[in-house]
Amino acid sequence: MLMTEPTVAVKEHPILITLQDTISGNGFLARITLSGRTLMRLEDDDKWWMYGVRPAAIAESGGTIDEAFLRFRQAHTEVLFDIAQESKNFNEFRTEVERFFNEGDADEKAWEDALKAVRDGHTAPPEPFSNLPRQSPDSRPVRIEVERLDGKVKPFAASDNVADTYSVADKQAA
């Protein structure tokens, strides 16, 4: 008789996010594109909470994982608006956005632990995650790009657009 290891219910779900914003600042127009990490948890209040890992200083909740993501996304945009308001110029804005994105967080270890649980294959993701795309974090490293758009010599192109997405971190790429 073949013995299989028991499946464990996961409380913390490692999520990969991609966000892109165009922000007007004091004398500049900037595009911010990030590939980041969050943890999604169903908390005792029966709400899904999305906790930022990269960027770390944001947490938002919703009745569904989609609602939590949309609120997280909105909070991120508001942080960028605040940074733009307080920045005297593009260089100051870029420095502050990069600092905000790169601030460490205790949830980084929790994210790695959740990813390990997924990779070990002893996890049972709840129903809301079954329809989300799966992606290896190895194929999407954490990064942020802050680009000045005003005075750009290269013409704008539709291919510059990046859709906001979130996906469940999955096993390593084959």
| Residue pLDDT tens, the chain, 174 long | 444 444 445 678 899 999 999 999 999 999 999 999 999 999 999 999 999 999 998 999 999 999 999 999 999 999 999 999 999 999 999 999 999 999 977 778 888 888 888 778 766 566 777 777 777 788 888 999 999 999 776 777 788 888 888 887 876 543
pLDDT at 1: 44
Indicate the domain borders of the chain.
8-151
pLDDT at 157: 77
pLDDT at 110: 86
pLDDT at 173: 44
Closest C-alpha among 44, 45, 40 to residue 58: 40
Tell me the CA end-to-end span of the chain in Å, nearest whole number. 30
Contact 19, 33 (CB under 8 A): yes
Q: DSSP characters for the chain?
A: ----PPPEE-SEEEEEEEEEEEEEETTEEEEEEEEEEEEEEE-TTS-EEEEEEES-S-EEEESSHHHHHHHHHHHHHHHHHHHHHH-SSHHHHHHHHHHHHH---THHHHHHHHHHHHHHT-EE--GGGTTS-EE-GGGS--EEEEEE-TT-SSPP-GGG----EEEEE-SPP-
